[in-house]
Structure 1
Amino acid sequence: MNIRVHFHRLRIIFKDLHSHCNLHLLQNTRLAVGDRREKPAMGRRPARCYRQIKNKPYPKSRYCRGVPDPKIRIYDVGMKKKGVDEFPFCVHLVSWEKENVSSEALEAARIACNKYMAKFAGKDAFHLRVRVHPFHVLRINKMLSCAGADRLQTGMRGAFGKPQGTCARVAIGQVLLSVRCKDSNSHHAQEALRRAKFKFPGRQKIIVSRKWGFTKFSRADYVRWKQENRIMPDGVNAKLLGCHGRLANRQPGRAFLDAVSST
């Protein structure tokens, strides 16, 4: 009889301990889930999820608010105020894919190119320009991914999400980066763009421009028109003085000249 009473008491004690442990474990789980809801420590979704261009452009507007600022804030690096005659050589990094390029990738490429040029060519010996801007807004439908999330949160798949970041919609043959410098630093500029190429997804090509700097004139035409006094510098670009306009504003020898190259 005494053994049965003792066994019954032990059974009640173990049952109470088991229920107490389950309650304590449930409270800790709820606290952990609550912390995850308040402080989402998840990493950024990989850019490969947004690489393909599928939908229409979705820019920031009064209907699309709360868009985070893009990572890239500077688009011209180096001696951006140098005249058009200072840097005749120009090389481009051209995209060979139709894809989305995130603002983080543009910033990483700008930093890599700028660091190499500043180290080997000099910080005052080049002008780097980022030619694309991240205007397209990316969305994400945030959902809990922890253990037991299906019991805490259930939502429709593929729902219209909230803005997460920005990217640039790039076409085949579109210029991503451009560097102008002197002819003596041409190999440094090409190597800098080769290193910046690894920051982008897809394929890119490095193409040496036939133009003079960032202008639209070929190097042969620019030199010839410069000798004929028909080119007027305009910052990093240049203006061609043609045969249009008032004769009273023309200088001697500049009227009735062909504005189109004969070559």
Structure 2
Amino acid sequence: MGRRPARCYRQIKNKPYPKSRYCRGVPDPKIRIFDVGQKKRSADDFPLCVHLVSWEKENVSSEALEAARIACNKYMAKHAGKDAFHLRVCAHPYHVLRINKMLSCAGADRLQTGMRGAFGKPTGTCARVRIGQVLLSVRCRDANAAHAQEALRRAKFKFPGRQRVIFSAKWGFTRFKRDEYLKLKSEGRIVPDGVNAKVRTKPRCIARNDKIITKLINACMVNSG
């Protein structure tokens, strides 16, 4: 018996059904690698970020996620270079799909019970995706913007429904906008932390002491005047 088409499970109808001690025997998802490329490069190296955003509420199978990852990675490695990008799959297939197998051979009516006890057995996994959720993200240099856009456009054909390729206003995978990141970097207040970045701030006790010292200096100047 072949694999049931993913279009049968595309609509989100029921509650999430994750793998647990009550849901055993779940086959492994087809996608095992969610970060591809130069995933250890600093946030300063890749300022541009491009997203593939879902425009529908639907289920996306793990096979579709793996196919999209392979297509995007292959195009970027060929045209931009394998050392010039970082690809991340943001959707994770935690929802378990079930199937109530039916026999179709001769004499099957004696063996199966039809819709009596129709709660199926696990057959695969998928990701529950909402409108506006990011499916894939690529960070790279500004010179490879066209390659990243085309790679995500090709990956879009592996998914059902509608998706859009959007250029992010953020710096890479960080939470800072471009102008904000450059401003903090020029002030020496930002510290790269892997693919992210942290803002260097004063400890609360030091900031409180600075306020006290400022008040004392102002009081002394008033008294001397």
TM-score (normalised: structure 2): 0.88
For 2:57, the equivalent position in structure 1 comes to 98
Aligned residue pairs total 207
1:139, distance to aligned residue in structure 2 (A) = 0.3
Distance in 2 (alpha carbons) for counterparts of 1:242 and 1:145: 68
1:158, distance to aligned residue in structure 2 (A) = 7.7
Q: Does 1:49 align with 2:8?
A: yes
Larger Rg: 1
1:86, distance to aligned residue in structure 2 (A) = 0.2
Distance in 2 (alpha carbons) for counterparts of 1:215 and 1:52: 32
CA deviation string 1:93-127 (max 9, x = no partner): 00000000000000000000000000000011000
> Equivalent residue of 2:50, what SS?
strand
Sequence identity (%): 81
**Structure 2: runs of 5+ lacking an equivalent:** 208-225
CA deviation string 1:143-172 (max 9, x = no partner): 112355335434226810000000000000
Distance 1:158 1:127, change over 3 A: farther
Partner of residue 215 from structure 1, selected from 169, 174, 180: 174
Distance in 1 (alpha carbons) for counterparts of 2:200 and 2:124: 44
TM-score (normalised: structure 1): 0.76
Partner of residue 189 from structure 1, selected from 133, 145, 148: 148
Partners of 1:130 and 1:177 within 8 A in 2: yes
Pairwise mapping of residues 145-160 of structure 1 onto structure 2 (< 5 A)? 145-147=104-106, 149-156=108-115, 159-160=118-119
Distance in 2 (alpha carbons) for counterparts of 1:198 and 1:163: 27
For 1:139, the equivalent position in structure 2 comes to 98
Alpha-carbon RMSD: 1.5
Distance 1:205 1:244, change over 3 A: farther
The structure whose RCO (Cα within 8 Å, separation 6+) is larger is 2
Distance in 2 (alpha carbons) for counterparts of 1:152 and 1:200: 37
**Structure 1: runs of 5+ lacking an equivalent:** 1-41, 249-263
Partners of 1:76 and 1:130 within 8 A in 2: yes
CA deviation string 1:44-93 (max 9, x = no partner): 00101111111111000001000000000000000000000000000000
For 1:119, the equivalent position in structure 2 comes to 78
